[in-house]
Amino acid sequence: MHNTGLSTRWCAALTAAFVSFVSVPFLGSLFGWDFCRYVGENRTLSACPSFSFATVRAFPQGFEAFYKDRFGFRNAFIRGQSILTHKWLMLSSSQVILGKDGWLYLTRNKAVDDFAGQNLFDSSHLSYFRLILKGRQAWLARRGIKYLFVVVPDKRTIYPEYLPDYILRAKGRTRLEQLSDYMRDDPGVNFLDLTEVLRAGKSGGRLFYRDDDHWTPRGKFVGCEAIRERLAEWFPGMRPWRLEDYRIGYQPEKPDLLALLGTATASAYMCERLDPKAPPQSRRVKLTLPGDFIIPQKWTGRLNAATENKAARGKLVVFSDSFLTTAFDSDSLLPLTENFRRLVFLDMRTDYRTMKSIVEQEHPDAVVEEWAQYMLEVPPDHPEWDLAREASLQSGASPR
């Protein structure tokens, strides 16, 4: 004979448990409950749409997007799924590759294809790339300004040994290796690839973060000192900087890639911090951009700043991306800021209009354009740069 009372109580308990479980997200949404703060969002969450007769047809779709971004315990569910997938099952995501010994690599801009040699320039693109750099160089040379194009290699180029074996086995020739070899055949192009100097500096300490795609303070210093050394060929008397000029401290690594994975809010690793032993003479000053200066939409909201050092000589303008941006607010940039009376730092890709505008305002002695390896593509040209290049070829003068 069945125990009807026990079965009834058991069914009631199961029903109550099920109703409680499916109600938790709704109650969490109602009262704003959550167990954790997920830091992997790189976008603005959907706002609650307003309801009116004019928006009645779009309201359901807008409210659905709002609820998906804010339902109860959403962050906890995402965090749990991320920990299960990436920490326990050790599976990479569409954005981040899990390497060896805790190293993480970003997959943006066909990074894996490039590492495997599947994203090379064709010969016409290489030729066009060189002609464009020569045009910028010649246009600036006519104004008595030196020009240097710098490429910062990616983390996978400097630390390939921590990549998964299946990626290492597919290693091919990268765009940077191809471009660097091509530029090396023409000494008339002022081109600086930081790969070799960074590889040589690996033995002294870590140059890239494990948990982020950017370089550490030591890596920034090595790169900035290499740029200073190249500029010193044109501007003798610049003071060399050494690691002995700093006190070495330690700080947590940047956790940006962990945030993309959603597995942690802080890095488990420490990296070096460089503090100058002597107070820097350069000071950050307000930068007023020219009235006709237009920042491309993609680069709005980035860091644009300047430093001044009355004890130094010369002016330097730097167009850069996030690699040198992160150096600007640290003392790793001292090899440059301490050696120029004024340094103008623009976190953007340049075109003819932006370069002309800032050159006419600042009258620099040199312009440095820095690109990260993963962003390598043929830069934009302009008729004025093309004319300057042709005039330089006809005169037989070197634009260096």
pLDDT at 3: 58
Number of C-beta neighbours around residue 80 at 10 A: 14
Residues 261 and 307 in one domain: yes
Residues 215 and 321 in one domain: yes
Distances (CA, A) of 290 to 55, 179, 287, 325, 362: 42, 34, 10, 21, 10
Q: Is a pLDDT exceeding 60 seen at residue 297?
A: no
Residues 44 and 126 in one domain: no
Q: At 262, is the pLDDT very low, low, confident or very high (cuts 50, 70, 90)? A: low
200-227: per-residue pLDDT in tens? 999 999 999 888 888 899 999 999 999 9
318-352: per-residue pLDDT in tens? 999 877 776 666 788 899 999 999 999 998 888 89
Lowest mean pLDDT among 13-22, 54-63, 295-304, 350-359: 295-304
Residues 253 and 365 in one domain: yes
Q: Is a pLDDT exceeding 80 seen at residue 397?
A: no
pLDDT at 257: 72
The answer to whether position 16 is within a domain reads no
pLDDT at 38: 52
Q: Is a pLDDT exceeding 50 seen at residue 154?
A: yes
82-136: per-residue pLDDT in tens? 554 545 434 456 678 888 988 989 887 788 899 999 999 999 999 999 999 999 9
- DSSP secondary structure string for all residues of 126-180: HHHHHHHHHHHHHHHHTTT-EEEEEEEPPHHHH-GGGS-HHHHTT----HHHHHH
The answer to whether position 3 is within a domain reads no
pLDDT at 199: 96
30-73: per-residue pLDDT in tens? 555 555 555 555 556 677 777 777 677 777 777 677 766 666 65
The answer to whether position 181 is within a domain reads yes
Q: Is a pLDDT exceeding 90 seen at residue 256?
A: no
pLDDT at 2: 54
The answer to whether position 6 is within a domain reads no
Q: Is a pLDDT exceeding 70 seen at residue 137?
A: yes
Distances (CA, A) of 241 to 231, 335, 378, 397: 13, 6, 33, 34
| Residue that finishes a domain, picked among 57, 86, 115 | 86
Residues 81 and 128 in one domain: no
The answer to whether position 13 is within a domain reads no
The answer to whether position 95 is within a domain reads no
The number of distinct structural domains making up the chain is 2
Q: Is a pLDDT exceeding 80 seen at residue 241?
A: yes
The answer to whether position 315 is within a domain reads yes
274-289: per-residue pLDDT in tens? 999 999 999 999 988 8
Residues 180 and 288 in one domain: yes
Residues 165 and 75 in one domain: no
The answer to whether position 79 is within a domain reads yes
Q: At 76, is the pLDDT very low, low, confident or very high (cuts 50, 70, 90)? A: low
Residues 65 and 119 in one domain: no
Residues 345 and 250 in one domain: yes
Helix (H, G, I), strand (E, B) or coil at 397: coil
Cβ-count burial of 279 within 10 angstroms (0-12 exposed, 13-18 middle, 19+ buried)? exposed
pLDDT at 86: 46
Q: Which domain holds residue 59?
A: 25-86
pLDDT at 43: 59
Q: Quote the mean pLDDT of the chain.
A: 82
Higher pLDDT, 316 or 255: 316
Residues 260 and 370 in one domain: yes
Residues 154 and 303 in one domain: yes
Residues 205 and 291 in one domain: yes
Work out the angle between the directed axes of helices 352-362 and 383-395 (0-180°, nearest 10). Answer: 70
